[in-house]
């Protein structure tokens, strides 16, 4: 797994790519979220368009990120979940995460 981060309209966008299976990258992902929260950035879009595959550790990473952001008074949404929609549906996490068809829709959701 790899990820890039940038700020778009005061919203943190995390572009995740590859296979999400845990490891050092997962720790770095959480570190980056905490870093932004410490900078008072509390709105996040996790764009999963380039994710090939995800295991249970990857799901745990997303749940932990959601919990961290919510506990800080923020909001985290997912974008482009096509490739992992089945695992979200099977685990019923599809009802836990706000998700949008595209990154643009996800960003716009913060303006409503």
> The CATH number of the domain where 48 resides is what?
3.30.750.24
Domain enclosing residue 97, as ranges: 2-111
**pTM of the entire predicted model:** 0.94
How many beta carbons lie within 10 A of that of residue 28, not counting itself?
Answer: 13
Phi-psi region of 17 (alpha: psi -120 to 50; beta: other; left: phi over 0): beta
Domain count, the chain: 1
Mean pLDDT of 59-73: 96
Q: Tell me the per-residue pLDDT of 9-38, one tens digit each, with 9 for 90 and over.
A: 999 999 999 999 888 888 999 999 999 999
């Amino acid at each position: 797994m790899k990820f890039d981060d940038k700020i778009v309209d005061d919203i943190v966008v995390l572009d995740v790519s590859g296979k999400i299976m845990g490891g050092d990258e997962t720790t770095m992902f959480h570190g980056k979220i905490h870093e932004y929260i410490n900078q008072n950035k509390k709105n996040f879009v996790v764009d999963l368009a380039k994710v090939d595959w995800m295991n249970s550790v990857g799901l745990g990473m997303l749940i932990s990120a959601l919990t961290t952001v919510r506990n800080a008074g923020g909001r985290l949404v997912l974008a482009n979940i096509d490739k992992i929609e089945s695992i979200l549906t099977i685990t019923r996490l599809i009802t836990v995460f706000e998700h949008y068809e595209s990154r643009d829709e996800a960003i716009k959701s913060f303006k409503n």
